[in-house]
């Protein structure tokens, strides 16, 4: 690891932070330290970082805003690559919108809406980045990224940069090609449509109001904990199993939305994992339905 740090420093790729706690970098506010956290200062620096890590054989994990992610209490061995500076640009050319992988999806939806561009209204309350949204094919309110993505720029594990079209991304429910062919989304080109600004604002306001009423947006969560099974809604199954408000340590099933787990203060990854296991076993025993986690669990167990 010492040699890797020296190589990264010599390459001047950005900020390099040894033994960096990861809890502040996640929306759940949970997680132990990374051996090293690297925050590249741009696309070229990110690609060089990946090439250095590839040559060294050092494992690495990429994070944006840290939503949809549970970091273990022991932290992450190897390197964590944090996307931010240099990957937070937004460019608008008529109905085509180019956004860096580190851009907040909420910010982007507000920016394009004010420009009279429709297609991102569904994303106004999703607490992730553009890159994470492409990776997960994030969606809500009957739409998702697969409907608006034109192409994505991706840095592969080799450090090579490629551009992939929508039809090459193999989008499915909360799935993309990147689950099978790992890479980091550095930029996404979205094709939106012209629409009335007032109508866009009204749709976004309605979606926001619905989320405020039904989701614990002001609390530390990772978003939806489980994927919706075929022909079912995870939240409804969890609620009907009588688990709203159920707690393990500092982790609690939200009384507002049963598919959200809240860090009520001081929750550990172990608390969350035990609670997730209890939810899955209870729902399986009561309804014969297996819940699949939507959150990514990472780090040393």
pLDDT in tens, the chain (301 residues): 889 999 999 999 999 999 999 999 999 999 999 999 999 999 999 999 999 999 999 889 999 889 889 999 999 999 999 998 889 999 999 999 999 999 999 999 999 999 999 999 998 878 889 999 999 999 888 899 999 999 999 999 888 999 999 999 999 988 999 999 989 999 999 999 999 999 999 999 988 888 888 899 889 999 899 999 988 999 999 999 999 999 999 999 999 999 999 999 999 999 999 999 999 999 999 999 999 999 999 999 8
Domain 90-213 has CATH 3.40.50.300: no
What pLDDT sits at residue 25?
Answer: 95
Question: Which candidate in 118, 174, 176, 252 is catalytic?
Answer: 174
Do 227 and 290 meet the contact criterion of CB atoms below 8 Å apart?
no
224 is catalytic: yes
Q: Note if the pTM is more than 0.75.
A: yes
What pLDDT sits at residue 254?
Answer: 98
What pLDDT sits at residue 210?
Answer: 86
Do 3 and 58 meet the contact criterion of CB atoms below 8 Å apart?
no
- Cα–Cα dist 83/216, whole Å: 26
- Cα–Cα dist 151/264, whole Å: 39
* Beta partners for residue 14, in sequence order: 40
Residue 85 burial (C-beta neighbours within 10 Å; 0-12, 13-18, 19+): middle
Could you tell me where in the chain the CATH 3.30.43.10 domains are found? 2-82
12 is catalytic: no
> Taken in order 64, 175, 143, 229, is the CA torsion positive or negative?
negative
DSSP β-ladder status, 14-21 and 33-40: antiparallel
Percent helix, percent strand, percent coil in the chain, to nearest 5 = 35, 30, 40
The DSSP 8-state label assigned to residue 228 in this structure reads P
What pLDDT sits at residue 212?
Answer: 86
56 is catalytic: no
Question: Which candidate in 146, 224, 252, 280 is catalytic?
Answer: 224
What pLDDT sits at residue 159?
Answer: 86
* CATH fold for domain 2-82: 3.30.43
Could you tell me where in the chain the CATH 3.30.465.10 domains are found? 90-213
Could you tell me where in the chain the CATH 3.90.78.10 domains are found? 216-298
- Cα–Cα dist 92/99, whole Å: 9
* CATH fold for domain 216-298: 3.90.78
Place of tokens 């940069």: 161
Nearest to 204 by CA among 121, 93, 105, 133: 121
- Cα–Cα dist 295/93, whole Å: 34
Q: How many whole angstroms from its chain centre is CA 135?
A: 8
What pLDDT sits at residue 140?
Answer: 84
Please, what's the b/e burial string for 271-298 (b: 16 or more CB within 10 A of its CB; e: otherwise)?
A: bbbebbeebbebbeeeeeeebebbbeeb
Contacts of 89 (CB under 8 A, 6+ apart): 98, 99, 100, 103
Do 235 and 259 meet the contact criterion of CB atoms below 8 Å apart?
yes
């Amino acid at each position: 690891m010492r040699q890797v740090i020296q190589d990264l420093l010599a390459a001047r790729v950005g900020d390099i932070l040894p033994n960096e706690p990861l809890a502040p970098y996640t929306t759940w506010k949970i997680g132990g330290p990374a051996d090293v956290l690297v925050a590249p200062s741009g696309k070229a620096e990110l690609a060089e970082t990946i090439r250095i890590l590839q040559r060294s054989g050092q494992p690495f994990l990429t994070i944006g805003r840290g939503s949809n992610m549970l970091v273990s209490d022991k932290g992450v061995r190897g390197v964590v690559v944090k996307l931010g500076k240099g990957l937070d640009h937004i460019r608008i050319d008529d109905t085509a919108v180019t956004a860096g992988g580190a851009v907040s999806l909420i910010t982007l939806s507000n920016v394009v809406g004010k420009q009279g561009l429709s297609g991102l209204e569904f994303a106004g309350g999703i607490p992730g980045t553009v890159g994470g949204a492409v990776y997960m094919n994030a969606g809500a309110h009957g739409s998702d990224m697969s409907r608006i993505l034109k192409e994505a720029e991706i840095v592969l594990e080799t450090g090579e940069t490629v551009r992939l079209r929508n039809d090459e991304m193999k989008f499915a429910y909360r799935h993309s090609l990147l689950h099978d062919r790992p890479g980091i989304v550095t930029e996404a080109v979205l094709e939106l449509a012209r629409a009335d600004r007032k109508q866009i604002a009204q749709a976004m306001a309605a979606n926001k109001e619905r989320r405020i009423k039904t989701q614990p947006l002001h609390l530390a969560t990772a978003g939806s904990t489980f994927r919706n099974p075929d022909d079912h809604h995870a939240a409804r199954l969890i609620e009907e199993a009588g688990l709203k408000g159920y707690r393990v340590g500092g982790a609690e099933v939200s009384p507002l939305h049963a598919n959200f787990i809240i860090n009520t203060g001081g929750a550990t990854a172990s608390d969350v994992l035990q609670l997730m296991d209890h939810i899955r076993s209870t729902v399986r025993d009561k309804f014969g339905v297996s819940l699949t986690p939507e959150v990514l669990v990472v780090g040393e167990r």
